[in-house]
Structure formats: structure tokens, C-alpha cells
Structure 1
Amino acid sequence: MARVSQAHLDARRRQILDAAALCFARNGFHATSMQDVLKEADLSAGAVYRYFSGKEELIAAIVSEVLGEVRSAFETAAGQSRPASPDQLVASVLGRVLSARESLTVDGMPAFPRLVVQVWSEIPRNEELAAVLSEGYRTVRAAWGRLVKSYQEAGRMRADVEPDHVARTMIAAVLGFIAQQSLFGPAPVDVLRDGLRALMSMSDDEPDAG
């Protein structure tokens, strides 16, 4: 029997994850059955179950993949001698995440923002998913925290703010921006970048009255 190449295995796994993401974004986690995923992926049950035991494992894999990409990007930035400013970095990382999934659409709209909202709505009733998200966001927060420390040590950011507070704020801004896309439709990441840039440019000094 001929050996199946790793490239083939990776492509098949990608095919299944993308199909599941579309199903979850379209109908929600609970209204989606494994049969729906099989149909979307155009694969047999045996082909899919070779990779994933069920919906819980599928959605955990999707979440872990995205958070892993984000964490890696921020860790790489933190290791640079002069990392990009927060507004540029957030736009760059989010832009890559969205671009990698731009082919996945539901009713002509990007599926990823809708999927994010579905995942968050599932947290109160799914302890395993909550644990995956908690660990994923912990590592992203830690990566952002290291990045903030590098800004502070270089004198590029005020040093009297706890790094984790900045990390949590940046994560909140990104999640809020994604949620807005789910509600109001696609928007370029430049919108988030420009908004952050404007907030970062504020001064505590009052403008001259004259």
C-alpha cells in the first residue's frame, strides 16, 4: 500500500477544519451535526473521524490554531530589537489571520467573524472549550505583556502602567472589532489601526485657549 504523504494529510485536515468552520459559522455549534460537516467537506465518515473524534475536537482545533498564530506573531515581535508600534502590529497580525480565511464565506460574508461570536456564545456551556480558550488567551496575554515590557524598556511607552493591563486592552480591542464585523459587515483592519493610532496620540495637556 502506498504511503500517504504528509502534505496530503495536512491538506485533508485543512479541508475538514474549513468545512467545520463554515458549518459552525452558518448554523451555530449546536445546530451543526457531524453529518453536516461530512457533507460540507465532501468526505466519508471514516476520512473525517481519522482526524477528529467529533464537534468538540473540531472546534477546539480551530480555536487553538488561530490563537497559536496570534501568539507566535506577538512572540516574534517581542524578540525584535525594535518591534512595530501596537497599532501597526495589531493591524498586521489581524490582517494575516483574516486574509488566511477570506475564502471562507457564508451568504457572501466572511465566516470568521461569525465563527468567533459562535465560539464565545458556547463558552458558558462547554467547559472543555472554555479551558482551551482560557489557556490560549493566557499565552497571548503573556506574549503581549512581554511586548509591552520591551516598549517600556525602550522608552516608547509610559512605564507606570502594568503590562498585563495593556495586553488585556489590546485583546479586547481586537475581539470587539471582530464582533463588529459579524454585526455590521466587513471593515478593513486599517479602521482599527487608525483608531488605535489616534488614541495613542492623545496628550494630557490642555490645548491653548488662544
Structure 2
Amino acid sequence: MDERLKTDSGLAGDFSTEALCRRILERHRSTIRVQKTHVAVKKLSLIVDAMLDLSNKQGFHATSLRDLSKASGVSMGGLYSYFDSKTTLLTMILNEVLDTVTRVLGQEPPDMMKDPAAHLGWLIETHIRLTEVMQPWFVFAYMEAKSFPEPARRMAVDSEAATEKIFADVLKRGAAAGHFRIEGPDLAAALIKPLLQDWYVKRAKYRKRGTSIEQYIAAVRQLLASAFEASPR
């Protein structure tokens, strides 16, 4: 791993709920009516954690603002200080997932651009570790996508397409340089995505098997290296 990836999760940066909600606050400062940053971040963290938990248990569509108020401990009036509807909260969460994935996967070490095989391995490991540390956020975006209102559903689709493009671009660069023998890099990138999703969507299956995140990363890298005739780095 790049030496910049130095937190316990293996990633550089803070991916705690409070850190993610601080970024949400910055992005929506013009509409969130709570002025004190530390208060706003603390309450927004309670709200988001409660929404992710409720959605996992009963689904986003079935979760009412009254349910959210009770679970988060924030009054109904307090909720409306942060967003005007449940759909707006949904958009806040999805935007943060999309922004974080794009930002983190775009922070590859400079020397990776010279070695597509190493870059592909880095992307695989970084994506899996990111979904590990943000698992409730990614599960929410994946499991609830079909029940999202149309604009949010489009946002979720665009997020998946953006991730696929990052992988496809590396595959194309590797194929052009002779590092990979591959036809249809766009399709290959689309097939990689389910391998990345399986780790956070089917966590219980891998826990039952005793599969660690390191083992899973190594297995995916080995599989793709063999498929594209590139040695694992």
C-alpha cells in the first residue's frame, strides 16, 4: 500500500461519521439553519446514523421522519433545521458517497500512472478498504437504489458508472501499453464492480467463512491479474 494510507483502515483521511457529516455540512451550508458547526455536525451525525440503521432494518421508503426523530433523538423541528424532506437527506448521503469514492480513487500515487497493473491493484484494494470503513453508507446506496425517487436513482446509477469509468480508464491504458491482454475494457470494468460490491453487501457470507479483508483483497487481485495476464503487485 502507498505509505500515505496510514489510518487503521488502511486509508489516508478521516472517514468517521462526524468527518463525513462535516463535509455534508460544508456542501449544504446555505440551507442548513444550525449556525454552530460543532452542534450541527454532532446532530447531523446522529440523524445520518439513525437513517442508515433504520433503512437497513425496515427500508428507506418505510422510514418516516417521525421514526427518524425517535431513533436519532432529534425533534421533528430539529430535523427540519437540516433538510426540508427525507428526499433531501437521501441526496445529502448519496452525494457524500459519490464524492468520497471519486476523491479517494483519484488520489493514486504519482508513480502508479506508469504501471497500469499496479494501479489496478491499488484501485481494488483502496475501493474495498473504503467500503469497509463506510459500509453502512455503501450498503444504503446499493440496497435502497430501486426505491429511491427518480433523481436519486439516477444519482446512484451515475455513481456506479463513475466508478466503472475509473477502472475502465486504467484497463484501457494498460491494454494500449501492452500490460493487459483484454478486449472490451468497459465491459471488464462493469464485471469488476460486483466483485467490489460483494464484500460489503454479503458481509455475513465472508464472516461465516472466516475470510479477512486482506484475504479478500488478495483473492480479487489474483483473480483479475490472472484474467488480464498481469502479475499481482
TM-score by length of structure 2 reads: 0.66
* 1:163 correspondence with 2:185: yes
Aligned pair partner of 2:129 in 88, 91, 95: 95
* Alignment partner of 1:188 is 2:212: yes
Kept in 2, the 8 Å contact 1:21–1:62? The answer is: no
- Count of residues in Structure 1 that have an aligned counterpart in Structure 2: 189
Are 2:162 and 1:139 equivalent residues in the alignment?
yes
TM-aligned CA distance change 1:88 to 1:81, over 3 Å: closer
Higher RCO structure (Cα 8 Å, ≥6 apart): 1
Write the deviation string for residues 9-63 of structure 1: whole angstroms up to 9, x where unpaired. 3333233212111111111123211111111211111221122222222223222
Between stretches 51-60 and 195-204, larger displacement belongs to: 195-204
Query: Which residue of 2 is the match for residue 178 of structure 1?
Result: 200
Cα deviation per residue 1:138-172 (whole Å; 9 max; x = unaligned)? 222222233333434554323x4333223212212
Task: Note closer, same or farther for the CA distance 1:62–1:204 as it changes in structure 2 (3 Å cut).
Answer: closer
Equivalent residues of 1:13, 1:51 under 8 A apart: yes
Gaps of 5+ in 2: 1-33
Q: Pick from 83, 86, 92: which aligns with 1:52? A: 83
Post-superposition shift, 1:185?
Answer: 6.1
Identity %: 19
Q: Which amino acid aligns with 2:129?
A: G
For 1:122, the equivalent position in structure 2 comes to 147
CA distance in 2 between partners of 1:204 and 1:63 (Å):
32
Q: SS of 1:202's equivalent? A: helix
Change beyond 3 A, Cα 1:43–1:31: same
1:5 and 1:31 map into 2 onto residues whose CA distance is 32
CA contact (8 A) 1:74 1:144 kept: no
1:75-90 → structure 2 map (5 Å cutoff): 75-77=106-108, 80-82=110-112, 84-90=118-124
RMSD of aligned Cα (Å) = 3.0
Quote the residue 1:67 is aligned against: 98
Tell me which amino acid in the other structure corresponds to 1:51.
Y
Which segments of 5 or more consecutive residues in structure 1 lack a partner in the other structure? 102-110, 206-210
Q: Which runs of 4+ in 1 moved over 4 A?
A: 111-114
Kept in 2, the 8 Å contact 1:91–1:189? The answer is no
Counterparts of 2:72 and 2:44, CA distance in 1: 10
Contact 1:24 1:118 in 2 (8 A): no
Q: Does the CA-based 8 Å contact 2:168-2:188 persist in structure 1?
A: yes
* CA pair 179-99 structure 1, distance change in 2 beyond 3 A: closer
| Deviation larger for 39-48 or 9-18 | 9-18
- TM-score, scaled to structure 1: 0.72
Change (3 A) 1:41 1:176: same
The one-letter amino acid paired with 1:143 is: I
